[in-house]
Amino acid sequence: SLSDRISDSFKKLRGKGVLRDSDVDQTVGEIRRALIDADVALPVVREFAQRVREQAYGAARSKSLNPAQQVVKIVNQELVEILGGETRELTFAQRGPTVFMLAGLQGAGKTTFAGKLGKWLAEDGKRVLLVASDLQRPNAVTQLQIVGERAGVDVWAPEPGNGVGDPVEVARSGLSHAIRNGYDVVLVDTAGRLGVDEELMEQARQIRDAVNPHEIMFVLDAMIGQDAVHTATAFKDGVGFTGVVLTKLDGDARGGAALSVRGVTGAPILFASTGEGIKDIERFHADRMASRILDMGDMLTLIEQAEKAFDAKESEEMTGKLLSGQFTLDDFLTQMQQIRKLGSMKKMLGMLPGAGKIREQLENFDEREIDRIEAIVKSMTPAERANVKLLDGSRRERIARGSGTSVSDVKGLVTRFEAAQKMMKSVGNGGGIPGMGNIPG
Ligand code: GDP
Ligand code: MG
């Protein structure tokens, strides 16, 4: 999948001490191919690759992040960017009913989404009217009526006087009904075809002009891959829209549609539809989608926090020590203190993908543990701190007394320190955030 391929390319950066332009080129090249294979539109891929490359070249000397983390961070930022950045607020009418029109191909999920959005708005205290302007398929009206019932909102359907056989007339009469009866929001469901066609576009334009929607939502099946761009462009030119609804994101969506549609049409993605159930609706959040594509647990949150919390100079010194393999108890203590700065230990571990086992072990981890470690380390001589092998029974006893702990506390610390030391070695020369694991893999 796209996620797997992106994380594979990050893995190769793991052992690197510094980020070379050639490393950046290689990673960007791999991500670029992964995006193309996931049906992301070429111009979007090109711009993305260029922006990542530029920033990664420039940002190559971050103090608190290792090379892989730096690139993850930049890739994530740029993914968020092409997905549209901040989520846009919906446009509502100042007075009278707000009109949202749904457009898109047959099977995209318009009618299903009409129900979800209806319920979503109703839960927000709005009186919603669904309008059945899809008269193309024989049971489309019935489908909307069922959906409306499930959502607990009213449905306006074609009847004598509402417009029979004329979707434009149904839309118009539906809006008048909404105005007369004090509805807050009118959702106009329209017909789709299996492919883009001119008659369909003309009908959608007429409905649009009859009801003057505050939002025209283009409903797009995230599973359709390469066709997404073509379809979106056709609707953009034919009807125009103010926002996009991505449906079927619960499926094995490759992410391509999501990544292309904003870049190609310029319209923000407003909602994600994530299932067949009435509740499977979410506002679309570019940052969430990006981390879903990167699939890195909350690694990104961690990167953010690490950057904030780490003192650049300390971190640089630490990296130097790690690289030269001189990791002492003093460093261990410094690390523990830094980890505390980042938030509670348990929370940290909870954010690390694949940290389940360690988390279990530390389920009863006590923050005061860090104070104990500090006391123990401070009771050691510099020589002992630099070389724990010196710690025989009598030294351990002295340290325990001096720190107000027990001999087994001292032993326990040494064991943990040695484990950390070993881990440092296995993490390699990448200098991942010490004691916090590395890019998952
Ligand atoms: P329309 O032709 O655009 O109105 O599409 P429909 O609303 O009738 O949906 C077409 C099919 O897609 C139906 O079988 C829906 O149950 C299904 N569907 C719609 N939205 C989603 C979604 O977010 N996830 C999944 N898995 N199925 C969906
Ligand atoms: Mg429909």
* C-alpha 111 – ligand 1 centre gap (Å): 7
* C-alpha 155 – ligand 1 centre gap (Å): 19
Residues 279 and 352 in one domain: no
Give the model's pLDDT for residue 320: 65
* Smallest CA separation from ligand 1 atom 28, residue: 276
Alpha-carbon distance 284 to 266, whole Å? 15
Task: Write the CB contacts of 119 (distance below 8 Å, at least 6 apart in sequence).
Answer: 150, 151, 152, 153, 278, 279, 281
| 249 carries a ligand binding annotation | yes
Whether residue 118 has its Cβ less than 6 Å from ligand 1: no
CATH number of the domain residue 340 falls in: 1.10.260.30
Look at residue 436 and tell me if it is in a domain: no
Q: Which of 53, 82, 111 is the last residue of a domain?
A: 82
| 107 carries a ligand binding annotation | yes
| 136 carries a ligand binding annotation | no
Give the model's pLDDT for residue 435: 42
Write out residues in the chain with pLDDT < 50, as ranges.
Answer: 298, 343-345, 348-365, 428-441
| 319 carries a ligand binding annotation | no
ipTM (interface predicted TM): 0.99
Domain that holds residue 368: 301-430
DSSP-based three-state secondary structure for 162: coil
Residues 402 and 312 in one domain: yes
* Predicted structure pTM score: 0.69
**Pairing mode, strands 269-273 and 128-133:** unpaired
Give the model's pLDDT for residue 316: 61
Residue to substitute in 117, 276, 284 for testing ligand 1 pocket (most ligand atoms within 8 angstroms of CB): 276
Whether residue 158 has its Cβ less than 6 Å from ligand 1: no
Residues 205 and 342 in one domain: no
Residues 55 and 173 in one domain: no
Q: Are 115 and 150 in contact (CB under 8 A)?
A: yes
What does the pLDDT look like over 345-361, one tens digit per residue? 455 444 444 444 444 44
Look at residue 87 and tell me if it is in a domain: no
Look at residue 290 and tell me if it is in a domain: no
Residues 265 and 120 in one domain: yes
DSSP-based three-state secondary structure for 247: strand
Give the model's pLDDT for residue 280: 92
Give the model's pLDDT for residue 348: 47
Residues 340 and 406 in one domain: yes
Give the model's pLDDT for residue 251: 72
Q: Are 223 and 252 in contact (CB under 8 A)?
A: yes
Listed residue (142, 70, 55) closest to 431, CA to CA: 70
Look at residue 289 and tell me if it is in a domain: no
Q: Which of 284, 311, 334 is the last residue of a domain?
A: 284
Whether residue 133 has its Cβ less than 6 Å from ligand 1: no
* Identity of residue 263: G
Whether residue 115 has its Cβ less than 6 Å from ligand 1: no
Give the model's pLDDT for residue 432: 44
Residues 234 and 320 in one domain: no
Look at residue 437 and tell me if it is in a domain: no
Look at residue 291 and tell me if it is in a domain: no
* C-alpha 276 – ligand 2 centre gap (Å): 13
